[in-house]
Structure 1
């Protein structure tokens, strides 16, 4: 069950005096993958790329099945780790909500946010996101009611006033101004050498179809490095200028070949499959 394709000695469940030892690559553990996805999503979100961050945060949330370690008892070391992961899970949820709001899905989140503030009434970040979602849905009066409800709860339960974020949101709503964003949304400008489409690309349907699929996978956070190998004039005039101008890839960087890239390609990359080639151009991934 642990190693169905094993052809030699066991590598996961191995004999180790005085019994057995379970040796698992940390990268195959849900908890490790969850933390890695969260660490990858946060800088992307802070840099103004909410769609890519949202993809990673959704992948992280799908790794959860109930509470952490709910079937291994309540020993102290278990409780510490369980609480740590629960905090990370809530933080990931809040980041996901921020990403969804940033791409215009505020109205769809109101129900989920009402559930979260009822379940975690001392977490101001959830109250703040609910205010933003209502305000951006044109429900300003309800957003102000949420602020008053949050303030009353905080004062009653812990004797403190709302923090700066909630107060800033109330001020913006009263002034009929947009809510200050928690994270920016800054589309990445295209390199000047690419720009918008300059000439239509004719006769490269196979290659363009392959590259378009590579872009789609990259936007789903399941892409890879794509190397286009051709004569410089052909690439500048045709394929590359056509690609970013046609597709919504503002969150993906471009890198032009440099001596260091060429050295890395020769030293470390061995293309295993040519996915598209024609005439004097080839592309690899």
Structure 2
């Protein structure tokens, strides 16, 4: 038997997948597997399954689950049920206090991960950086997504999942340290940029990105990265960078020789090491609640197109809808089909300016050819070199936050065995696109599950109605929900209802509470910059109405004719800043109703209040004040 928990939960017997379909059975088996060869007490199993509200029949029901597992997985020790390579039979034993699942050590992917992690650390302690990097890469390949990603975890498994995730992060940091010691700073920039985007307050990742940029001759970019790190720490935690990060900043300013790349006299790198391929994908740490239909749609489109043309999948959605997370998770699901490399680029800088394809191609070619690769000076030659490499390879290209087709086109691989996955707030239309996947808001139940995944079931149970109101207030946008959950994590004594009352203005809102508009202010500003000035100006004014509007109402509010108003409303819809909620009347334009999501109304109010002091958007001064209403 082989059991995987580092990603979707899987159990294999003789290479046949036999995962229990019932959610409670999966929970029981996962808990027994992660504590294999140790007794799991009955009270632990009951707490995992029912937390602090077990039914009166909990013990009997648990015994029924164990009986079903024994039948499903032949865990009674009968011949033919192999545990691992040794052929030892797995057993599910009963003890006076609980149950114990016996498994061979390497039958559990988490055990293999921990063993390789320890081996890699020992190699690092011995200064064997090349072996360290390779061993830790092997360890990280065990991960196929978040631990227990399709198991409804309770408090016991949740604690294990947190421990495994922290261990994974430490292994990623150690592997990057090894790569920096080997002089692979060019290759690390894309990966570190993605890691920092997902975890802006992780000072370890921030420091490594600054160092990699500096060693790559991009001193100004390294200094800008420090400023972004400082802003993130101040905005989210109210803290200044650590002394170590500040010291690194001073060293960059002084061009300290200690920051120079290590001399690798015994190592000459002219391309990817044998048997390896560039991998720039950030880690898959996503929670893809309610995304199975969209993932299946994208998977089918890739399978249908493969071998005939390059599959190009574009995920679109509102700011904060999770389209970048969706693309990254999908890329990790299919990465094994593209063994020659996975390339990743963010196509919009944090300040909202589009990334030049010229610069992205430089990073791609460095990843493909190694730090000593000769990068062509002209755009035409860079595109030609890149396409020649992709033409006869199986490579995956992930482009996040794309602005338009002209930016995307030079970065698409040409090989029929390649694939491209793209996220964009803007709706893109082009014959090369295989499938456009719209990433919707979460349903009320999906929003509750997301809050539960962060805060736990007990917190939800204490104030279920308040949690439902918060999901409604966030309009099901995952980013808004996660940001709200972070606030409640920092204030464990708050109820959901109290947070909702603060957001609605019924209670005073503490200073800096969700001051970034549910985490959506930066991404909304980046999206608005893609629009004409008149439409930028229209967004906060129309959102301030806090109700669905027609073209005629918009025209009256903006002082323009209805044709212009309709054009601006449709531009907002194209960029997912508004949505059509009423198309009655057979398509007559004055029957369309355009709605603004509540978190975006909050952002619109921030734009209105900040415009006289800031130049966030073309120096418009909206002169409005918006407070969110139910």
Q: Fold match, TM over 0.5?
A: yes
Matched, 1:149 2:149: no
2:67 matches 1:56: no
CA distance in 2, matches of 1:124, 1:176: 21
1:12 aligns with 2:89: yes
Q: Which residue of 2 aligns with 1:160?
A: 239
Match of 2:172 in 1: 93
- Partner deviation per Cα, 1:98-136 (whole Å, 9 max, x = no partner): 111111110111111111111001110000000010000
Q: Which residue of 2 aligns with 1:204?
A: none
C-alpha contact 1:13 1:21 (8 A) present in aligned 2: no
The answer on 1:2 being equivalent to 2:13 is yes
Contact 1:135 1:143 (C-alpha < 8 Å) held by counterparts: yes
Tell me if structure 1 keeps the 8 A contact 2:129–2:179. yes
Q: Could you tell me whether the CA contact under 8 Å between 2:130 and 2:178 is conserved in 1? A: yes
Q: Kindly indicate whether residue 151 of structure 2 is the aligned counterpart of residue 140 of structure 1.
A: no
1:119 maps to which residue?
198
Q: Which moved more, 1:21-30 or 1:104-113?
A: 21-30
- State how far apart, in whole Å, the 2-side matches of 1:100 and 1:61 are: 14
Q: Does 1:70 align with 2:81?
A: no
Worse overlay, 44-53 or 134-143: 44-53
Structure showing greater radius of gyration is 2
Is the 8 Å Cα contact of residues 151 and 161 (structure 1) preserved in structure 2?
A: yes
Whole-angstrom CA distance in 1 between matches of 2:252 and 2:92: 65
Q: Secondary structure at the match of 2:13?
A: coil
Distance 1:16 1:153 in 2: 50
Matched, 1:40 2:119: yes
Q: Distance in 1 between matches of 2:252 and 2:153?
A: 45
TM-score (norm 2): 0.27
Distance 1:26 1:132 in 2: 38
How does the TM-score come out when normalised to structure 1?
A: 0.58
Match 1:82 to one of 161, 166, 171 = 161
**Structure 1 runs of 4+ off > 6 angstroms?**
184-188
1:168-227 Cα offsets, whole Å, 9 max, x none, are 21121111123559xx99999xxxxxxxxxxxxxxxxxxxxxxxxxxx9xxxxxxxxxxx
| Post-superposition CA distance 1:228-283 (Å, at most 9, x none) | xxxxxxxxxxxxxxxxxxxxxxxxxxxxxxxxxxxxxxxxxxxxxxxxxxxxxxxx
* Contact 2:203-2:245 at 8 Å conserved across structures: yes
In 1, Cα distance between the equivalents of 2:152 and 2:79? 36
SS state at 1:73 partner: coil
Distance 1:136 1:76, change over 3 A: same
The aligned residue for residue 477 of structure 2 is none
Residue 29 of structure 1: how far off its partner (Å): 1.5
2:207 to 122, 125, 128: 128
Distance in 2 (CA, whole Å) between partners of 1:15 and 1:176 is 61
State how far apart, in whole Å, the 1-side matches of 2:117 and 2:265 are: 22
Is the alpha carbon distance of 1:8 and 1:185 closer, same or farther for their aligned partners in structure 2, counting shifts above 3 Å? farther
Confirm or deny: 8 A CA contact 2:186 2:212 kept in the other structure: yes
Give the structure, 1 or 2, with the largest relative contact order (CA under 8 Å, sep 6 or more): 1
- 46-55 or 83-92, which deviates more: 46-55
Alpha-carbon distance between aligned partners in 2 of 1:8 and 1:153, rounded to the nearest angstrom: 58
- For residues 199-210 of structure 1, the aligned pairs below 5 Å read none
Query: Does the residue aligned with 2:257 lie in a helix, a strand or coil?
Result: coil
Q: Matched residues in 1 for 2:137 and 2:212: separation?
A: 19
| CA contact 1:3–1:12 (8 Å) conserved in 2 | no
Give the length in aligned residue pairs: 187
Distance 1:112 1:149 in 2: 17
Give the conservation status (yes or no) of the 8 Å contact 2:234–2:240: yes
Which of 245, 248, 251 matches 1:169? 248
1:210 alignment partner in structure 2:
none
- Aligned with 1:69: secondary structure? coil
> CA deviation digits over 1:8-66, x for unaligned, max 9?
57543447569x97521123311111112112212322332211111110110111111
Contact 2:93-2:101 within 8 A present in 1 as well: no
Aligned equivalents of 1:178, 1:35: Cα separation in 2: 36
